[in-house]
């Protein structure tokens, strides 16, 4: 199969598009990391509140949580 010739300009254009996509993906990953950290923080707070409620219920001798 004969190889097709690719101009320097075409190769550069492909490389630039790939770089732009990579930068976009890196930004998406950063945003997702921030969102994940926020969700983890909210979940930790919910778990702390639930733990307090369970401790209070145990102290009161109740079984409903």
Residue 2 pLDDT > 90: no
Q: Check residue 6 and report its DSSP letter.
A: -
Instruction: Please determine, for residue 12, whether its predicted confidence score (pLDDT) is greater than 70.
Output: yes
Q: Tokens 């702390």 — which residue?
A: 48
Residue 42, both tokens: 């909210």
The pTM (predicted TM-score) of the whole model is 0.64
In tens, the pLDDT along 21-62 reads 999 999 999 999 999 999 999 999 999 999 999 999 999 985
């Amino acid at each position: 199969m004969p190889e097709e010739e690719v101009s320097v300009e075409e190769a550069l254009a492909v490389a630039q598009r790939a770089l732009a996509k990579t930068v976009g993906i890196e930004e998406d990953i950063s945003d997702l990391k921030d969102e994940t950290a926020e969700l983890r923080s909210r979940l930790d707070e919910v778990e702390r509140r639930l733990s307090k409620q369970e401790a209070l219920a145990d102290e009161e001798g109740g079984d409903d949580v």
